[in-house]
Chains A and B, each alone.
Chain A
Amino acid sequence: MSALNSHATGNPADASVAVRDLLIAYGSLVVLDKLSLDIPKGEFLVLLGPSGCGKSTLLNSIAGLLDITDGEIWISGKNVTWEEPKDRGIGMVFQSYALYPRMSVYDNMAFGLKIAGLPKSEIEERVGRAAKMLKLEPLLKRKPSELSGGQRQRVAIGRALVRNVDVFLFDEPLSNLDAQLRSELRVEIKKLHQDIGNTMIYVTHDQIEAMTLADRIAVMKGGIIQQLDDPHTIYNRPKNLFVAGFIGSPAMTFLNGKITALNGAPAVDVGGGVVVPLGRYQFEAGSSAPAAGTDVVLGVRPEHIITGSPADGTEDGRRFWTKGQVKMLEPTGADTILWTEVGGQNLTVRVDSDHEVALYAHFDFAFDLDRASLFDKASGDRL
């Protein structure tokens, strides 16, 4: 387990943020188990996972807001494990904004600087710069209660910004906002990162936020980082069934099957006479086709299924054609989700909304074999 949770790549002093063997336990409840992680300077890392998986715990440990049971935290080349939050060179933004309710927007941003004993002119300059960046200039005299949710969160970001720190920590900063504001502010945060280039660690349970913002995503479950990769890899080559099922909406279809041989090459028998050849499947480095009879799960994303008919000239080795029946239709505007059945198992297909399909119709479709995923059923790991 501990080896699994280690994503250290080098010397902790070389990373912008490094976590070494971090253990967080409440009595016998282990929330984070020997977690190691390196985040290079300027990276936008997203911690993604279901509620309660330990994302905030990890973030709070990095911030120094939590007593850790064991391990080390390094920030900007310094071991800060025993440092106070203010001395770690971090700024933090919280889900509930956490603005000081009795202070004006200006004072909210200036509070930390006043405590640090900065001269008034310097404070004014820094707050002014942050306010300009975040379009808060007309609001500086207002109280937090006189602001909208989006404005409040921008003030909270401003409060982190004025500290001139190397590392920004975000704990679900957009979760309290409505969908419209969320996507607006998401773009602003991305732009902010492009402009100032700081290291950012961003916690969310929203996969869209993760996919759009991240340089790398750490998908977490039960205190363990399941996969740490760039969004494209996470999406297309999920390391295990959990990551595959967690990322993507509608979710990846999982077809249970057994390994068989087809014309001398490995294939998956998913039942109902449907046997999918694996000749083109790229197995993970170090693993090859399992023995015949092994229980496996074939994962196919709804948008990686091609509809049409095998006769229309697109036939090549990449595609495997078969038939399914439409059980339910779900138009979403941009496209239509077909809930279908193949070999007695459910299969979700995403088609263009212009594509005309009737309910209960049988239709031809193909798996894109290059983009399918194969998992060992027993361990859940990608093959």
Chain B
Amino acid sequence: MSALTAQSSPRGPKPKRLTPARVGLYGFVAMSCLFFLAPLYVMIITSLKPMEEVRLGYIFKWPDSPTIQPWIDAWSSACTGLACEGIHSGFYNSIKITIPSVMVSIFAGALFGYCLSFWKMKGSNFLFGLLLLGAFLPYQLFIYPLVRIYAWAGAYGTMFNIITVHTIFGLPVMTLLFRNYFSSVPIELFKAARVDGAGFWRIFLSVMLPLATPVVIVAVILQVTGIWNDFLFGTVFAGQNNWPMTVLLNNIVNTTQGERHYNIDMAATILTAAVPLTVYFVSGRWFVRGIAAGAVKG
């Protein structure tokens, strides 16, 4: 073959060309970034401005004399209704609510999903159908009956109340998640464990749960963000002493008296959003790693 024909004939990787589709795609990505990042930029710089600068109304303008005072105020002295103690008590309440709710709902969901996949009894498919229905019914339907039930049991407006409510409402989706994962696990693995003498709990804890790490991570992301961001259940069931951060944030932002402290509002909002954001950034890495580990069929 002569050098000339070798040059002109196709060989090696196909040269990439900029197609209109690609231009459109990049354009779309850029627009989306702008759309989501612009408000975040405004929030951050506003939270770093003293009120005098905020009043001027140049929302995109970089602060002339940046200050972290609004953040301190938001944390410890902003008024949430009558009390002026900032948002920090809500932060601790949210943690106290979120951690047990997430742990219990994921553990129970994994357990139910495991039962539905490996220990099928008569009616377990029906049970699963019922659970699915539960996942899709609007939960506003249940609020009033639940208030009555908890009040009757003398547990209304307590930590126990809000934690159990989050657990119950998290269960259908958690169960669905784990059942779907476990039903893709070869049944032979379960059989092998039984021949090895492992019982119900041993198979669950030593074989299936370690296998489900990627799902556990997904579940943690879903539950932490869902429960942390919850407002409705918190307002209704938690009781004033246990109000989560979202409720306090609302109270700060919606105070009707006096001047609006936009810088404090912004700081409080970012503080409230910080936890789910961190979960996304930290667990996203784990998430990808978990998926990759699971993809190599063991």
Please give the residue numbers on chain A whose beta carbons come within 8 Å of chain B beta carbons, in ascending order. 60, 63, 65, 84-86, 90-92, 94-96, 98-102, 111-112, 115-116, 143-145, 156, 159, 163, 171
B188 sits at the interface (CB 8 A): yes
A98: B residues at CB distance < 8 A? 186, 188-189, 191-192
With A94-B191, A102-B210, A145-B296 as known contacts, state yes or no: A159 contacts B186, CB within 8 Å: no
Contact with A along B286-298 (1 / 0, CB 8 A): 0000000000111
A–B pairs, 14, beta carbons within 8 Å: A85-B195, A91-B195, A92-B192, A96-B186, A98-B189, A99-B189, A100-B192, A101-B211, A102-B210, A102-B211, A111-B206, A115-B197, A144-B298, A163-B196
B197: A residues at CB distance < 8 A? 84-86, 112, 115-116
B148 sits at the interface (CB 8 A): no
- Docked pose: A115 CA to B201 CA in angstroms: 12
B186: A residues at CB distance < 8 A? 96, 98
- Docked pose: A84 CA to B191 CA in angstroms: 12
- Docked pose: A65 CA to B188 CA in angstroms: 10
Please give the residue numbers on chain B whose beta carbons come within 8 Å of chain A beta carbons, in ascending order. 186, 188-189, 191-198, 202, 206-207, 210-211, 296-298
> Among the listed B191, B202, B211, which residue makes an inter-chain contact with A92, where contact means beta carbons less than 8 Å apart?
B191
Q: Is there an interface contact between A92 and B195, defined as CB atoms closer than 8 Å?
A: yes
Q: Is there an interface contact between A65 and B196, defined as CB atoms closer than 8 Å?
A: no
Q: Is there an interface contact between A95 and B188, defined as CB atoms closer than 8 Å?
A: yes
The 9 A-B pairs with the shortest beta carbon distances in the complex, nearest first, are A101-B298, A112-B196, A86-B197, A98-B192, A98-B188, A94-B188, A102-B210, A145-B296, A115-B197
* Shortest Cβ distance from residue B280 to the other chain A in the assembled complex, whole angstroms: 26
A115: B residues at CB distance < 8 A? 196-198, 202
> Among the listed B193, B195, B296, B297, which residue makes an inter-chain contact with A100, where contact means beta carbons less than 8 Å apart?
B193
> Among the listed A60, A90, A91, A99, which residue makes an inter-chain contact with B298, where contact means beta carbons less than 8 Å apart?
A99
A163: B residues at CB distance < 8 A? 196
> Among the listed A63, A96, A101, which residue makes an inter-chain contact with B195, where contact means beta carbons less than 8 Å apart?
A63
Most buried by A among B193, B194, B197: B197
- Docked pose: A60 CA to B195 CA in angstroms: 11
- Docked pose: A60 CA to B188 CA in angstroms: 11
B297: A residues at CB distance < 8 A? 101, 145
A95: B residues at CB distance < 8 A? 188
B202: A residues at CB distance < 8 A? 115
* Shortest Cβ distance from residue A161 to the other chain B in the assembled complex, whole angstroms: 13
A92: B residues at CB distance < 8 A? 191-192, 195
* Shortest Cβ distance from residue B162 to the other chain A in the assembled complex, whole angstroms: 35
A112: B residues at CB distance < 8 A? 195-198
* Shortest Cβ distance from residue A52 to the other chain B in the assembled complex, whole angstroms: 16
Q: Is there an interface contact between B194 and A85, defined as CB atoms closer than 8 Å?
A: yes
Q: Is there an interface contact between A111 and B298, defined as CB atoms closer than 8 Å?
A: no
B210: A residues at CB distance < 8 A? 102
* Shortest Cβ distance from residue B190 to the other chain A in the assembled complex, whole angstroms: 8
Contacts beyond the supplied A145-B296, A171-B188: 6 A-B pairs with Cβ under 8 Å: A96-B188, A98-B192, A100-B298, A111-B198, A112-B198, A115-B202
Q: Is there an interface contact between A65 and B298, defined as CB atoms closer than 8 Å?
A: no
- Docked pose: A98 CA to B186 CA in angstroms: 8
Q: Is there an interface contact between A86 and B196, defined as CB atoms closer than 8 Å?
A: yes
B194: A residues at CB distance < 8 A? 65, 84-86
Q: Is there an interface contact between B207 and A65, defined as CB atoms closer than 8 Å?
A: no
> Among the listed A60, A94, A143, which residue makes an inter-chain contact with B192, where contact means beta carbons less than 8 Å apart?
A94
- Docked pose: A372 CA to B98 CA in angstroms: 78
> Among the listed A60, A111, A145, A159, which residue makes an inter-chain contact with B191, where contact means beta carbons less than 8 Å apart?
A60
B296: A residues at CB distance < 8 A? 145
* Shortest Cβ distance from residue A195 to the other chain B in the assembled complex, whole angstroms: 22
A91: B residues at CB distance < 8 A? 195
Most buried by A among B191, B193, B196: B196
> Among the listed A102, A145, A159, which residue makes an inter-chain contact with B196, where contact means beta carbons less than 8 Å apart?
A159
- Docked pose: A319 CA to B202 CA in angstroms: 66
A111: B residues at CB distance < 8 A? 193, 196, 198, 206
- B202 (CB) vs chain A CBs: closest residue: A115
With A94-B188, A145-B297 as known contacts, state yes or no: A65 contacts B211, CB within 8 Å: no
- A169 (CB) vs chain B CBs: closest residue: B195
- A66 (CB) vs chain B CBs: closest residue: B191
* Shortest Cβ distance from residue B8 to the other chain A in the assembled complex, whole angstroms: 41
* Shortest Cβ distance from residue A255 to the other chain B in the assembled complex, whole angstroms: 43
Q: Is there an interface contact between B207 and A100, defined as CB atoms closer than 8 Å?
A: yes
- B197 (CB) vs chain A CBs: closest residue: A86
* Shortest Cβ distance from residue B226 to the other chain A in the assembled complex, whole angstroms: 28
Most buried by A among B186, B194, B195, B297: B195
- Docked pose: A92 CA to B207 CA in angstroms: 17
- A162 (CB) vs chain B CBs: closest residue: B196
Most buried by A among B189, B194, B298: B298
- Docked pose: A101 CA to B193 CA in angstroms: 12
With A86-B196, A115-B202, A144-B298 as known contacts, state yes or no: A100 contacts B189, CB within 8 Å: yes
A63: B residues at CB distance < 8 A? 191, 195
- Docked pose: A156 CA to B194 CA in angstroms: 14
- A143 (CB) vs chain B CBs: closest residue: B298
* Shortest Cβ distance from residue B4 to the other chain A in the assembled complex, whole angstroms: 44
B189: A residues at CB distance < 8 A? 96, 98-100
